[in-house]
Amino acid sequence: MAQVIDGKAISAQIKEELKERVAAMKAEGTEITLAVIQVGEDPASSVYVGNKKKACAYVGIRSLAYELPEETTEKELLDLIAELNGRKDVNGILVQLPLPGQIDEDKVIGAICPDKDVDGFHPQSVGRLCIGQPGFVSCTPAGIIQLLKRSGIEIAGKECVVAGRSNIVGKPMALLLLRENGTVTVAHSKTKDLKEVTKRADILVVAVGKPKMITREYVKEGAVVIDVGIHRNENNKLCGDVDYEDVAPVCSAITPVPGGVGPMTIAMLMNNCVEST
């Protein structure tokens, strides 16, 4: 039976380590502050933002909450970012996505000072990752690398397949696996014969956004399967992009949903905040 990769336990361990580091920094007079901006009241975003604030409080990071109305203009948001960029007492700036239609997300991401880009979404952060320079890395893929390493799973030399090519997960995931010396293939919605590609993977990362799409026909016997998806099924139960019950018996390790990749995103955001000082 597959090893179940416990993201909840690993994220708790990382937060514990960060809490100690933050306390030591405080003792030396360094305080960390994260500005969290939410525009509108999307319920899912409100849950994510609430969890980020809670994690900050736990680790010992000060959080400044900016809850702006749905009708906020692009200029108003850019002005706030400019002000926060200029504040010496603000280390990190996070703008929760998605943003309302009147605001250009790319413009907003590009306006955040790269030194405060704790989400790792700024083109400079992505470029640095691409050419192997230090910089902030997108939290979900960074968390997946931690899940693999802390579960004793070797990446170097392995066939890694990433299903999905989003800017937030798929692309940075591929770059990180490459940085760890994996042999990386990126598959996506236009890939011909997806099963044939995913079946080559020793490590399969799935971020396709389709509930339970990946069944055992997509998975090589003994592969490690990482599920980035999170959905509610017809019974209001959470499920991933992977059909867990079907796939778990044939793989060597797998992340559950919930309790796999999800908790790692916030742990890595806290890590980026600590690194932002």
Q: Measure the CA–CA gap between 186 and 164, rounded to whole angstroms.
A: 7
Window 238-267: contact mask with ligand GUN (x via CB under 6 A) = ---------------------------x--
Kindly tell me which of 103 and 139 has the beta carbon lying closer to ligand GUN: 139
CB of 216 to ligand GUN, least distance (A): 29
Residue whose token pair is 């890595």: 268
Dump strand ranges (E) for the chain: 3-4, 33-39, 62-68, 92-95, 159-163, 183-187, 203-206, 224-227, 231-232, 238-239, 253-254
Q: Which of 220, 244, 241 is nearest to 159 (CA)?
A: 220
Roughly what angle, to the nearest 10 degrees, separates helices 7-27 and 139-150?
110
117 binds ligand GUN (CB under 6 A): no
For the bound state, the minimum distance from the C-beta of residue 52 to ligand GUN, rounded and expressed in Å, comes to: 9
Question: How many C-beta atoms surround the C-beta of residue 20 within 10 A?
Answer: 12
- Least distance from C-beta 78 to ligand GUN, angstroms? 16
Binding flags for ligand GUN, 23-62, as an x/- string (CB under 6 A): ----------------------------------------
- Using CB under 6 A as the binding rule, the residues of this chain from 86 to 115 that contact ligand GUN are 94-97
Q: Can 119 be counted among the known catalytic residues?
A: yes
Which among 15, 38, 52, 241 is annotated as catalytic? Answer: 52
**By 3-state DSSP, what share of the chain in percent is helix, strand and coil, each rounded to 5?**
45, 15, 40
126-185 positions binding ligand GUN, by CB under 6 A: 139
- Minimum Å gap between C-beta 167 and ligand GUN is 11
Which of 119, 227, 241, 243 is catalytic? The answer is 119
Q: Which is nearer to ligand GUN, 160 or 207 (CB)?
A: 207
Compare residues 91 and 96 and give the one whose CB is closer to ligand GUN: 96
- The CA distance from 172 to 180, in Å, is 12
Residue 15 contacts by C-beta under 8 Å, 6 or more apart in sequence? 55, 58, 59, 267, 270
**Which lies closer to ligand GUN via its Cβ, residue 119 or residue 227?**
119
Smallest distance, ligand GUN to C-beta of residue 99, A? 9
Q: Tell which one of 119, 202, 227, 243 touches ligand GUN (CB under 6 A).
A: 119
DSSP class per residue in 69-120: -TT--HHHHHHHHHHHHH-TT--EEEEPSSPPTTS-HHHHHHHS-GGG-TT-
Is-cis flag, bond preceding 114, omega within 30? no
* Amino acid at site 176: L
Q: Tell the smallest beta-carbon distance from residue 107 to ligand GUN (Å).
A: 15
Spatial contact of 255 and 261, defined as CB atoms under 8 Å apart: yes
* Known catalytic membership, residue 96: yes
Size of the site for ligand GUN (CB under 6 A): 7
Which is nearest to 143 in space by CA: 58, 259, 232, 249? 259
Q: With respect to ligand GUN, which residue has the nearer C-beta, 2 or 97?
A: 97
Applying CB under 6 A, the residues found at the interface with ligand GUN are 94-97, 119, 139, 265
Catalytically active residues, by annotation: 52, 96, 119
